[in-house]
Structure 1
């Protein structure tokens, strides 16, 4: 009885302990930054790969459905965005009428439309924190230091609160790591006790003693197929979210399959049994996701089911389409080709800074030890350190094989990175004075860099587009019936769902006449990227001519805006002066706004444009030399977004 009691006590997990106050402060900062809201705009995919499309379905409004959701060749699964973004957007849709009626608060405004979904994602991001915490507690590691480091990363403060598919991928990856870590921990204990009891059974001398030990062996918990259904479902969901999840899922699944392999009680029979069970367990969720996508994109309809006209053409497998699309080098070239060393040389230092460099140093040391044959100083393969090490290296290595590499693609490796090397930035008792000072300096550097990058990516990078969208929403709402033409250049696209434009695709029915009709579009958003200024103004001229024609023929009033980085002001005014019948006036200015597509030049000593475009000092003899302080001030002022209104010269 004593042996049995102690056996099951040993298999139980450790009790959780309290989290440090500094960690909770960082979590509060995460939510506060989301509530402000963060006006920074990291990449168009944070809107157009998820929330833009889901908002269009829920609010039945006009949105920009990107090519990834084209029913002819869809490459994006709709289920994961719906289950993550559906609840907050449906909350807005349901609560909005009541808030409007009782409190006169309009929830369908850019602030709430951007903040409420982000708050929900921010809440879900705590899944990553919880998984890291549980793994640390499970294996007796210092979770306090790691959690503080994790929560202070700008990746968590900014990226993990946005609706990137990479953010969702990070959640799946963290959960997968936790489940596999728990399975490894439990299997190690059960296998140890199983081998111990087998040894005692062989040593037993009496039948009674053998029976007692045999009963204890039968009471050992099953461990071989722990979490198999959940693991299979997470892998399938992760692959449908982003097929690159194969690279992230491979190390955890590999370790889950190899648990205890080589011991006396686990053999290759168990290994193959696990593989078969894992594959079979993933089939139901795999078929369900195919069914959902096929129905959403119109490949499978109720009419087809009723008439039993179902063939291979009725099914769509979005991950397969994703792979087919990205296997074509022409398609990748359209999105930009990068050198294969970009993740290692640029993206890891950019995302993880001090922690990334620490990982490089530690991996170099371990590689050196391996080359010198010092295997005893290397982490064991079937250990939690081995799992985390492979979960860090293999996804980066696999993603580095592809020529299109963006920093956000490797966001999920932050979890194993913090677990492995997070504690290295904190001094311990065995460190000498110089080493302690070095670690403190690196820790302060970590916080300084992450604060800077949080401000930059959270509020400065493309930071003028959100406040412009907010102003534009108000203007469209207050000028019903106007035609609005918004032209953006050298900037990201405006998220259309924030404007809450009435749907022009839905069919409405007139109650009096019974006739069906569709609404004509009244707001036109045109993104021209880095189009040369001459071609841009040819387009602006066409828009102005068409708008004037509609004004005179149908009395349709209009407003035309050009949104451009302030660094292009001189080029815009120079080109606008060529059109004597066109008046281009500054309407709004939003600061700060960093745009790498139009990085401002540092003003020269005689740059009179810094004194204002109305300056009359055009003669070199009358020019005023700028001081260095004036030049720096002028340079910083050019990091803004300027919105110009275009109208004919006789406009009043």
Structure 2
């Protein structure tokens, strides 16, 4: 099952590997111990997982290739099958390893995840207890040392705490290599951080200050990302619709070129203007991302939208 989850995560977004790496290493260490470092025993132990991973990978490649197959590909080539394969993680790498591609989405300093994005996603209160839990793991408390608990259970809990800790550092560090850094990239860290602090137990005795900080932080972020951030894209499309829409025909009365700069890709269907019918007018929706507006030529809508 873990092999299937790993492949599904990689084909969903290859940055999944940054969060999954500590788990994979822990499973690898466990398998080596179980096999007593015997190559043949280890191969038998992991054979089923490899079969599941390979089968799942083939399934994803087949599905992506079938769905995204381009009708104009050279079918006469002897290597058509290999050229036609759509391997999503490789496509992701090819695109994101080119600085010119990342520049279209914005370049950031490599410390942004650690210094800004992580505290913002985790909120200061949760991050405080995460750091406290990490210190407890590094320097165990005396009270914990004296507890007489079941060693097997304690070993499992300690292993999980260690993995959660490394997931945080692995995800943050590896994602900081790329110069394009958005807060949403670190959202997968919320679950392991919560599990880390709950397993540590200190947060169960959190006072009113923690909950006040937690509520204020989440409300502020909800307003920031839910309303203010890119909040003008959808209303602007409704406004553009009112300008270009001809109530009599349901079509646009003129040719328009609508340019969006430094925004997310605007959903064109919200313009609600039909492109079919006797009218020869057209509406061109241009998304420049972070490129200069000079890259767009042709008539633009009036600036007083």
TM-score range, shorter-chain basis?
A: 0.7 to 0.9
Is the aligned partner of 1:267 residue 2:27?
no
SS at match of 1:524: strand
Is the aligned partner of 1:332 residue 2:102?
yes
Q: Note if contact 1:258-1:271 (Cα within 8 Å) is conserved in structure 2.
A: no
Is the aligned partner of 1:523 residue 2:283?
yes
Q: Note if contact 2:252-2:283 (Cα within 8 Å) is conserved in structure 1.
A: no
Name 1:446's counterpart in structure 2: 214
1:610-629 per-position Cα deviation (integer Å, ceiling 9, x unaligned) = xxxxxxxxxxxxxxxxxxxx
Q: Note if contact 1:343-1:400 (Cα within 8 Å) is conserved in structure 2.
A: yes
Is the aligned partner of 1:458 residue 2:246?
no
Corresponding pairs, count: 285
1:591-622 per-position Cα deviation (integer Å, ceiling 9, x unaligned) = xxxxxxxxxxxxxxxxxxxxxxxxxxxxxxxx
The equivalences for 1:32-71 within 5 A come to none
Question: Which of 1 and 2 has greater Rg?
Answer: 1
Deviates more, 1:242-251 or 1:397-406: 397-406
Name 2:271's counterpart in structure 1: 499
Q: Note if contact 1:425-1:440 (Cα within 8 Å) is conserved in structure 2.
A: no
Q: Distance in 1 between matches of 2:57 and 2:281?
A: 39
Question: Are the structure 2 counterparts of residues 309 and 486 from structure 1 closer, same or farther at C-alpha, using a change threshold of 3 Å?
Answer: closer
Calculate the TM-score normalised by the size of structure 1.
0.38
Q: Distance in 2 between matches of 1:297 and 1:276?
A: 31
Q: Note if contact 2:259-2:287 (Cα within 8 Å) is conserved in structure 1.
A: yes
Calculate the TM-score normalised by the size of structure 2.
0.75
The equivalences for 1:329-478 within 5 A come to 329-353=99-123, 354-364=125-135, 366-367=137-138, 369=139, 380=155, 383-422=159-198, 424-427=202-205, 439-473=207-241, 476=245, 478=247
1:550-595 per-position Cα deviation (integer Å, ceiling 9, x unaligned) = xxxxxxxxxx343xxxxxxxxxxxxxxxxxxxxxxx5xxxxxxxxx
Q: Distance in 2 between matches of 1:519 and 1:447?
A: 53
Q: Note if contact 1:240-1:319 (Cα within 8 Å) is conserved in structure 2.
A: yes
The equivalences for 1:122-133 within 5 A come to none
The equivalences for 1:273-352 within 5 A come to 273-299=44-70, 310-352=80-122
Name 2:23's counterpart in structure 1: 252
1:125-145 per-position Cα deviation (integer Å, ceiling 9, x unaligned) = xxxxxxxxxxxxxxxxxxxxx
Deviation at 1:245, TM superposition (A): 1.1
SS at match of 1:337: coil
Q: Note if contact 1:485-1:561 (Cα within 8 Å) is conserved in structure 2.
A: no
Considering only aligned residues, what root-mean-square deviation do their CA atoms show, in Å?
A: 4.0
Deviation at 1:519, TM superposition (A): 9.1
